[in-house]
Amino acid sequence: MKEWQAIFRAFGQLKNFTYLHFHLPDGIINISGRWGNEEELRWQRVKEDFEKRKVRVMRSRSNLHLINMKKTNEGFRFRYDLKATWDLEQKGKRFQQSWYEKRICQIRQDGGWFLDEDRLLVEEGSFSRMAKHHLASPIMMGSGRQKHPQASELAGLYLRLPRTHRGYDRQKAVEYAHRYWNGHNHKFKHFDVDCTNYVSQCLWAGGAPMTYRQSKSEGWWYQFSSSPQWSYSWTVAHALRWYLGTSKAGLRAEEVSEASQLMPGDVICYDFEGDGRFNHTTIVVGKDGNNEPLVNAHTSNSRNRYWAYRDSTAWTPEIRYKFFRIIV
């Protein structure tokens, strides 16, 4: 076996051990530097949360798929995909938690093999950090300046909303969330940082009405056309947080104080740094044995994830949440 193949195989063993035992193992590949300390703290939080919630891991599976490998002066650099699944049990209730990530790791040799970093290629909230001082729009398909259509022109450009009911169909929103938790509905533009776009699609699938406006900074809408357009609130976490908190027509929500007050189909917004700029959005898809929300999300694609996100590399002690119950 080639040296790099043996190293990547050892790295896979490290991953499997970590997801099953919630800490970094000794001896396979030594962990070095600040990254290793942060990762150890992350898994300590996961272990604490599982113990507090009385959740037991029945089975853990993680599969690594190598995308490419580069030999460096110090060792190897691997780019890979990771899909992991936990079979969990809590108070007699069994469920699965799954997630899919695109990662890159750097392993060096210095009297032994050391893992210098293992990071997400796109982290939750990374777009909001890049656009910290303004609401920048993601790059659109097509080129040139596009004219936003008048309301009278919209009929042929948009998919029609369900007419089977007047209200919000939570079941349909959740079904959509599970169908596309690790996939892409090709009717919509896909973004590298896709969390809010994904949640907006789930709300739309549940029958939440779009509110069309001339300006991207107003309303909540997506235009289906050869060169699609969308409002900031459709794709940007901070914009959707403020839309849900202030909207008086179309898609509306009320803020509640506790996560346990939410139901499947509701929305949670995350400010990881606690600086007032919200970075991430998830949709509630179920409840655990303690009546706490389980959520689905994109960017780091995840299914039935515990809502608090203490297992995220983006989590900080200053994190703030907003809990929105959809009332449309």
pLDDT tier at 214, thresholds 50, 70, 90: confident
Statement: residue 150 has pLDDT above 90: no
Assign domain 3-120 one CATH number from 3.40.190.10, 3.40.50.12500, 3.10.450.50, 3.50.50.60. Answer: 3.10.450.50
**Contacts with 13 (C-beta within 8 Å, 6 or more apart), sequence order:** 28
Of the candidates 190, 201, 192, the one whose C-alpha atom is nearest the C-alpha of residue 240 is 201
Q: What is the mean pLDDT of residues 247-252?
A: 93
Which residues neighbour 122 within 8 Å (Cβ) at sequence distance 6 or greater? 102, 192, 193, 299, 300
Cβ atoms 142, 227 nearer than 8 A: yes
Left if phi > 0, otherwise alpha if psi is -120 to 50, otherwise beta: which for 163? alpha
Contacts of 60 (CB under 8 A, 6+ apart): 16, 19, 20, 84, 85, 86, 87
pLDDT in tens, 66-112: 999 999 999 999 999 999 999 999 999 999 999 999 999 999 998 88
Query: What pLDDT, on a 0 to 100 scale, did the predictor assign at position 32?
Result: 83
Cβ-based neighbours of 138, under 8 Å, separated by 6 or more: 127, 189, 191, 193, 235
Percentage, residues of the chain above pLDDT 90: 74
Alpha helices in 22-156 (DSSP H): 33-53, 126-130
Mean model confidence pLDDT for the chain: 86
The predicted model scores a pTM of 0.85
Which stretch of 11-15, 27-31, 58-62, 281-285 has the lowest confidence by average pLDDT? Answer: 27-31
CB 278 within 8 A of CB 238: yes
Q: Which residue has the tokens 């790791």?
A: 105
Topology of domain 126-136+162-326 in CATH is: endopeptidase fold (from Nostoc punctiforme) (3.90.1720)
Q: What is the mean pLDDT of residues 272-282?
A: 97
Q: Do domains 3-120 and 126-136+162-326 have the same CATH topology?
A: no
Q: How confident is the model at residue 177 (pLDDT cuts 50, 70, 90)?
A: very high
pLDDT for position 124: 75
Q: Taking 60 as the threshold, does the pLDDT of residue 221 lie above it?
A: yes
Q: Please determine, for residue 140, whether its predicted confidence score (pLDDT) is greater than 80.
A: no
Q: Which helix (H) or strand (E) holds 55?
A: strand 55-71
Each domain of the chain, given as residue ranges in start order, spans 3-120, 126-136+162-326
